Amino acid sequence: MAAAASTGTDGGAPRLSPVLVTGGAGYVGCVLVPKLLEAGYAVVVYDLMLFGAEGVPVHPNLRVVRGDIRDTERFAAAVAGAHSVIHLACISNDPSYELDPALSKTINYDCFEPLVAACKAAGVRRFMYASSSSVYGVSDAPEVTEDCPLRPLTDYSRYKGLCEQVLLRYQSPTFTTVILRPATVCGYSPRMRFDLTVNILTNHAVTRRLITVFGGAQQRASLHIEDMAEVYLRCLALPDTLVAGGIFNVGRENHPVARLAELVRAIVEREMPGEPIGIRTSPTDDLRSYHICSRRIAERLGYAPTRSVQDAVSDLCAAFRAGKLPNSLTDERYVNVKTVQAMTPRLLLEAVR
């Protein structure tokens, strides 16, 4: 953590007008940031480092700022000179959000408009927001498009949708807004999460040789993490005319959770042979179920994810074999709700000061 966190202060201002990534030390950020650097962008990561910063690379064109998105003054200083912002930071799932809903709202909603306004005032040209396909809640529509009504089942999802509305008000010829509604992401990241469907199933298949499926009939849309990162790169590079004010679903495959468990079992049994892997089913109260349609992003932006759920499982198996995922059942940093719970709300509030 120390090495990565000191990169910015040691590295000084990036040479080029940078892309600022809030939440850049998170699961998605740790795959996205190296791709941005590789593509030649200078990058600023602005993150509270709730899960550490070990996954953040060290690079001469990367500045790392440990900061809270609720600290608008500090954020405004960090964003000065940036041409684009990718906003990933938040309390990023339902269970962590529900630990302290009032506190979570300060991070996921209350600070959003001040943050967007600070970006616009700083001359940022493009703002990309990580919403979520969970804004659809439950839908039995055969294809849930961006025009379908939002029926969020939880506050986490509700505020994702409400932030979208705030952001759309700021769209202008000099401030291009882009909203992505990604499916559940899967696959390996240097900052790993084992609280996402395919990742949980894989962890259990590898380490316990037993997959527990909660429910099973719920439809889950999945997206490989490398594809997730590529979407942001693609949206950065495309002209304003194609993306301005756009809302895009991003997913590749929709499967019931029970089917995902079978896919995971088949790959893990092939790539990490051992005891046969069992599948057990338990009831669930997580009712999210929707079959998202990602035709708009394909037709308007020419983007279609290329990697499968099986690829993500296979990548995770490779990471397990390489020893990159130690203590995967017990290390609390892999599970957002456990880490956020361990940080008392007081600690989170103090971080603003």
Ligand X SMILES: NC(=O)c1ccc[n+]([C@@H]2O[C@H](COP(=O)([O-])OP(=O)(O)OC[C@H]3O[C@@H](n4cnc5c(N)ncnc54)[C@H](O)[C@@H]3O)[C@@H](O)[C@H]2O)c1
Residues found near ligand X in the complex (CB under 6 A): 22-23, 25-29, 47-51, 68-70, 88-90, 92, 107, 130, 132, 182, 184-185, 193, 196, 336
Smaller CB separation from ligand X, 105 or 265:
105
How far apart are the two ends of the chain, measured CA to CA in Å? 21
At 181, the amino acid letter reads R
Smaller CB separation from ligand X, 22 or 176:
22
Cα(50)–Cα(44) distance, integer angstroms:
17
Cα(148)–Cα(275) distance, integer angstroms:
44
Q: Which residue is nearest to ligand X (CB)?
A: 26
CB of 338 to ligand X, least distance (A): 12
CB of 277 to ligand X, least distance (A): 23
Smaller CB separation from ligand X, 134 or 272:
134
CA angle 263, 267, 272 (to 5 degrees): 145
CB of 34 to ligand X, least distance (A): 14
CB of 209 to ligand X, least distance (A): 25
Contact (CB, 8 A) for 328 and 207: yes
Smaller CB separation from ligand X, 241 or 353:
353
How many Cα atoms occupy the beta-carbon half-sphere of 9 within 13 Å? 7
Q: Which residues contact 27 (CB under 8 A, 6 or more apart)?
A: 92, 185, 189, 191, 192, 193, 196, 225
Give the single-character DSSP code of 66. E
Smaller CB separation from ligand X, 69 or 238:
69
CB of 273 to ligand X, least distance (A): 29
